[in-house]
Structure 1
Amino acid sequence: MYVVASLKLNKNLERVIAEIEYSNIDRKNILALPLAKKVEQETEKSCQQKSFEILPITGTIIALLGMIYGFILEWGPILWGLIGLGLGVIIGGVIDVLRIKKIRVQKEGESLTEVFLLVHCSDKTQAQQVKTLIWKWSPTGVATFTKQAEDGSHDRD
């Protein structure tokens, strides 16, 4: 009889395995199989497109403010408009770099892979005990599988 569980790759997985081993199930009867995830490149392309939107917007706003206040200041509206444009592009670049770093940190947190935990149990009581242990640590799902060797049929719970 097998108990199959789906968990996220985090500390709970290690705790589940430790508790299962503590309940007198040999380590060779436990299999943790991580699933590979496809890396999405579309989100990075959208981040790069948004960076081209932020730079001209901040550059235009601060250049406009530089031109407006340039009538009052000494060097005139044209020079202050160009200075404002440069400052706006720099500020937009800083905002963009900080935003991209924040998105990457969020993606690293989300990129936890899913792990299938397969435990071979000798009887139904041991399987039930393993299921209750696993349910304590918030799995995505748990199932039992009984293989019957004689007729080739399978019993699922």
Structure 2
Amino acid sequence: MYVVASFKLNKNLERVIAEIEYNNIDRKNILALPLAKKIEQKTEKSYHQKSFEILPITGSIIALFGMIYGFILEWGPILWGLIGLGLGVMIGGVIDVLRIKKTREQKENESLTEVFLLIHCSNKTQAQQMKTLIWKWSPAGVATYTKQAEDGSND
């Protein structure tokens, strides 16, 4: 009898394997099989093309405000427009860097590979015990598989 579980590659997988070994399942009866993922180049290109679009927007907006209020302030509209442009580009750069970090973290979380955990159990009670143990570590799914007799008879 086999217990099959699906996990994302993270610390929970390592913890559940350690706990299974702690419950007297030999290491040779445990198989962790990672699945390969296809990396798409198309999303990577669009990600880099949009990476610095906020810099000119914030620079232009704050430069415009600098020129408008520059008529009131002491140094004049041209100097305050340039100061606003520099300040806007810096603010846009900070926003863009934070946005890039956030999308990279999301891509890393999405790109985690899925791992199938296969445990060979000697009897049904041990398989049931392993299922309850695995469910504590929040897998994507758990199933049991009983190998049928090879003589063609179904029990």
| TM exceeding 0.5 | yes
- What is the CA–CA distance in structure 1 between the aligned matches of 2:152 and 2:115, rounded to whole Å? 28
- What is the CA–CA distance in structure 2 between the aligned matches of 1:31 and 1:56, rounded to whole Å? 53
Aligned residues: 154
1:63–1:32 CA distance, 2 compared to 1 (3 A): same
TM-score w.r.t. the length of structure 2 is 0.81
Moved over 4 A (4+): 152-155
TM-superposed CA distance for 1:43, in Å, is 6.0
TM-score w.r.t. the length of structure 1 is 0.80
1:124–1:62 CA distance, 2 compared to 1 (3 A): same
**1:112 corresponds to 2:112:** yes
Calculate the aligned-residue CA RMSD, in Å: 2.6
The runs of 5 or more residues in structure 2 that have no matched partner are: none
- What is the CA–CA distance in structure 2 between the aligned matches of 1:130 and 1:55, rounded to whole Å? 54
Matching of residues 22-33 of structure 1 within 5 Å: 22-33=22-33
**1:147 corresponds to 2:147:** yes
**Contact 2:51–2:100, Cα closer than 8 Å, also in 1:** no
Match of 2:19, as an amino acid?
E
- What is the CA–CA distance in structure 2 between the aligned matches of 1:65 and 1:4, rounded to whole Å? 62
The runs of 5 or more residues in structure 1 that have no matched partner are: none
**Contact 1:147–1:153, Cα closer than 8 Å, also in 2:** no
TM-superposed CA distance for 1:116, in Å, is 0.6
- What is the CA–CA distance in structure 2 between the aligned matches of 1:90 and 1:70, rounded to whole Å? 20
TM-superposed CA distance for 1:123, in Å, is 2.2
